[in-house]
Amino acid sequence: MRLKITRTLEGRVRTGCRSNCHLEHAHRHCSADIAVVTPQLCTQKEDPHANFSAAFKERRLLSPGAHPIDARSPSGFARVFRLRGCMDDKHQKPRLALDAHVLAEDVKTGVYRVCDELFRRLYASPRFETYLFVRDGYAHRIRKYVSATKMDARGYQNRTAPSADAEIFLSPFTVAPVEWLADKNVLHAHIVHDLIAVYRPEYFDAETAKSVASIFASFDERTLIFAVSEHTKRDLLEHRPDLKAEQVTVMPLAAGDRFHPCLDHAERAAVRQRYGIPPGVQYVLSLATLEIRKNLDQVVNAFVQLLAQDPSSDMHLVLAGMSGWKLDKLDQALDAAGGSRDRIILTGFVDDADLSALYSDALCFVYLSRYEGFGLPPLEAMACGTPVICSNASSLPEVVGDAGVVLDADDVDGVVEAIQRIAASASYRDMLATKGLEHAALFSWDRSAGIVLDALAAAYARHAGAFLPQAPVSVSAGPPSEKKGRRYLRRALKGLWWLATPWSMPKRISFMRDRALADARAAEMTLLVEQERARISLRQRGAKVEAPEPLDLFDNDALSRAAGLALSEILWTPVKPEEVADRWSAARFLIDSWRSQKGIRAQFPQALRLAELRLSQDAMRHVEEALKAGISDRARQAFLVNETLNAVLPHGLTPAGIRTLFSWFMRGGARDAGLRLEEVWWLFLEAQGDPGRELMLAHSFSRTWQQRHPAGLTVFGRVDFARWIVEEYGVEGRWTDPSSWPKWETPALQILAGYWASQEWRAKWPNALNEEASARALLAWLTTEESGLSKDVCDWCARLDHGAIAAQLTTAGVNVIGHFCYPSGLRVSAESLVEAAKAVGVQVSLRDLKTDANDDPHHVDFRGMEIHDVTIIHAQPEPFFDVAYERSQVIERNPRTYRIAYWYWEFDSIPASWAEHAQAVDEVWAATEFVARGLRERLRLPVRTLFPGIKLASYEKRGRAYFGLPEAPYTFLFTFHMMSVMERKNPLGLIRAFKDAFGNSDSVRLVLKTSFGHKHPKQFQQLRKAAKGANITLIDQVYSPDEVLSLMDACDAYVSLHRSEGLGLTMAEAMLMGKPVIATRFSGNVDFMDDDNSLLVPYELVKVGKPIPPYDADLEWAEPSIEHAAMLMRRVFKDQDWAREVGARAKASAEAHLSLETAGRRMAARVEEIRALRMAGD
């Protein structure tokens, strides 16, 4: 049969996502007449920094008092290029030409949508004078678009290309007029959507493939390229290895504002009727051009299999999209559908206005494309709150992340299983929908446009031979040479090194550390470094630093000037009370209220008198949620974890640096960190509300400040610290008065900090932290004039309870540096270690060892200093152990503490490189004897076994339905992480044992819970294939810790046929729940599992056999007995009373031996031993 399309686009036949009309002018474009659509010139206020030239001298950097020239702002561009002779006075902004041929075609393809969304925003930006270009003869088509978008068409005229006088030419798809661009020295920028024509030419007819491939051949070393995904960038650089990676900027796409959950039932019903979808039935949606690449035949095959498994289902499949090319496979699949064919609806082209309703009303969205440059439809579906099932091909894992079900494009069984699970469990569907909505919100066209604008601005500055703000003035014409570029980089790096040397700033500070940063951001960062360098130079010469220009967060004009951006780029349209519909609209409404109503500003961000805001009950609920949500947390984290920014601008959230940091965030920092504007605004309003707190936080995370003022947050050093801030940054105000600062440090902690900061105190009272009598003597001395303290401080010391403080000073304590914000087993272990110490009265001072910007945004909550005598570094030897202090943003105490490494490993032999890392510590702790044996063989240091202790976190009780599981069958569970090496976790062995035990019986089920399967597609496909033919459920989702424990609680028994474990945390947790646990009798778990409390499986010791990073082939691990495991599983199922008895013994044993108190007592004993040895001088 042939495909019958029930609806076409205005009766026209289209042959794919990209019509040949987009390409027909490609090779003639250079000589074609060009039609130009010119926007109305935007008027701007006079830049207050226009008289800039006196601030610069030839070959000199910016002087401290000079105002920077920002080549990315409209006025900055004009001034820079008038100076260079590149721009006359008639043109205040660079002229940007946008190739609008795709828009003129008016075919609503993916490329059209990209151009539509992007060009609207580029056109609206005041940073360029923007034109829309089309070939002469297409003018009547673009008029319609210009009118619809309200772009100014008064300047519309027909011109030839050479007289159009563009300075930048942006091509969204078609071949650019390269000869004209070269002749006129016009900067050429191009958007690359995919390289399908290169790598999969069979998806096109030969002529189209050749035309598309010719686009990539036209690029040279001067072309600025925007790739819509990291995958597309990699494909392009592989195809054109002569291009440089820095030429290619990734510009992710977005769903757009029109895609949102459609809650109007009447509208959804009307859309159903319009496209022939029966009312009341569930449907699976797939939206794509109907062509071979979209793999729709497999979608049909999955749907047919779904109905075959449940003939009573009224499910329908909706294939939406216009007809494309090579439909043979789809035709064959439809022919083979048999009776299911009546349930498959082909809608043809779907109007844009109907898409949100069509997405929203679907049970789920299935997208099994074999190749995508980006893949907008899954993102659109997520933005509409529809669960997504998609392939792991090309860029799709980037787009969907962990917010959807990602599997192999040919995994029909996996698709069927995912649809069934979504249909069976409303809670599972809601979870996917929620994750999808949150994930889709991370993408925005404003962000994409900002990336393009920044990259165009920076590239144009280089192309025109202009100088960036901090660079010496160039007097030569044309683009800078590569040699000059290298000299420029060397100067910037020297500036960073110069800055680092006198102030002991982190050696890693360098704006070139991450070459993926846009040139514009690197230039801005270098400017910040140079300004700080100039300030330090002034201070070293004894000169006075001028006060920074203040920033008023309630003055819109001042904010716009500070950021160098239009107000619309840094603020939203004010939110009305009736528009508050979720957390983010509530946040915007609150920020608007705080900024516009002086009477409530002082309440930020405390709870408000909500009745005064005229809100509905639902809106009040959203406001209360926003107030509790920690909206500023991610923005603060982005600032703290940016090593370069935080080193140069530690005072960025104080009045001394808030203007500069605000500009940095608004000009791209927020976008680079994936932040929403609401998060940034909340942070700055929070900071302006309590600048004294921000100054204390700045000290807590600036190693330079800590080194200079180690007691700067205590009564003993805060006056000197505040005086230094005033002199160093030229600031004043009540926030620099220490009496206004928050009192978050206890007296004992302040005295400890003062003790380690003062050599005199330590020399006079060497045992003050070990003996209470000596501690009392120290406290008494601090009240006297002999101490050299001011009268106010002496009086403060006199008011203390000396007995209580002396007891605290002499109580054992440990400093712990660990991954407290990185979701992992290491975090669980570190948290358990800390809780165990606290349970027995050992004091703790904590520092988070950051991994990257994706850590939980609570780094700021871990600001303890190294005030105790023992430091535990709870981090693996690689990659962060050697930089633990730097990444924790804390200085190493002098005199040095006794250092302990807490390490895990899954084998009884450790890598040789660990011995070198061990040289930095005094001893090593391991959680289990299995790990400790391997450490002792390699290391000469003391190695001790100290189990961290385990306590089940509180979790919500949930039924199996929440996880899409039936309530009836007896259920075994195994949870593991795909990133933890699947071969070591051995789920394939568990599947074999389960099949041996139960075959395909429906009376018992095995659940395998994993995550990040899409990052290991071959292994996950192997896992799925092995699970076929048995009652086995695979869950590949990222669950919260609460959900993981809930799932474990909902199952009946736990099984781990691991080959090796360093600890075996999940087994211990299952035992604490009273579950019967079957596990391999090998490695770390046998420290707490035996024949009385567990069901242990014998094993044979074998070599790994092949390198499996990070494991070598010669390492040995266990091969558990499949037969014995199957026998134990059968017995647990058949004799459930006996199994419950085993679980009860496991619970009692675990509570007795794995408790935090037991672990804490062991730790306290060792800490006391260390204290005694140090007192004895050993």
Within this chain, domains 28-41+68-250 and 960-1154 share the same CATH topology: yes
Alpha-carbon span 583 to 437, nearest angstrom: 13
pLDDT value at residue 182:
65
Report CA-CA distances (Å) from 155 to 39, 138, 993.
7, 16, 75
- Protein fold of 28-41+68-250: Rossmann fold (3.40.50)
> Which positions of the chain have pLDDT values less than 70?
1-92, 105-108, 135-165, 174-184, 325-326, 462-526, 530, 533, 537, 540-541, 598-613, 1178
DSSP conformation class of 771 = -
Return the axis-axis angle of helices 376-383 and 352-360, rounded to nearest 10°. Answer: 60
Question: How far separated are the first and last CA of the chain, in Å rounded?
Answer: 89
In CATH, the number for domain 810-945 is: 3.40.50.11930
Q: Which tokens go with 149? A: 């978008």
Of 540, 547, 562, 527, nearest to 725 by C-alpha is: 547
Class for the domain spanning 265-439: alpha beta
pLDDT value at residue 594:
87
Beta strand spans in 1057-1124 (E): 1077-1080, 1095-1097, 1099-1103, 1116-1120
Contacts of 202 (CB under 8 A, 6+ apart): 292
Helix (H) or strand (E) holding 326: none
Asked if 577 and 619 touch (Cβ cutoff 8 Å), the reply is yes
pLDDT value at residue 526:
67
- Name the residue type at position 9: L
pLDDT value at residue 523:
65
Helix (H) or strand (E) holding 759: helix 759-764
Alpha-carbon span 872 to 1057, nearest angstrom: 32
Strands 33-37 and 157-160: antiparallel
DSSP for 1039-1054, written as a single string: --HHHHHHHHHHSSEE
Return the axis-axis angle of helices 519-540 and 482-503, rounded to nearest 10°. Answer: 40
Is residue 133 exposed (0-12), middle (13-18) or buried (19+ Cβ within 10 Å)? buried
pLDDT value at residue 91:
45
108-112-117 Cα angle (round to 5): 115
pLDDT value at residue 897:
96
Asked if 158 and 142 touch (Cβ cutoff 8 Å), the reply is no
Of 767, 798, 776, nearest to 785 by C-alpha is: 798
Q: Where are the domains of the chain?
A: 28-41+68-250, 265-439, 810-945, 960-1154
Entry pTM: 0.61
Architecture field, domain 960-1154: 3-Layer(aba) Sandwich (3.40)
SS3 at position 263 = coil
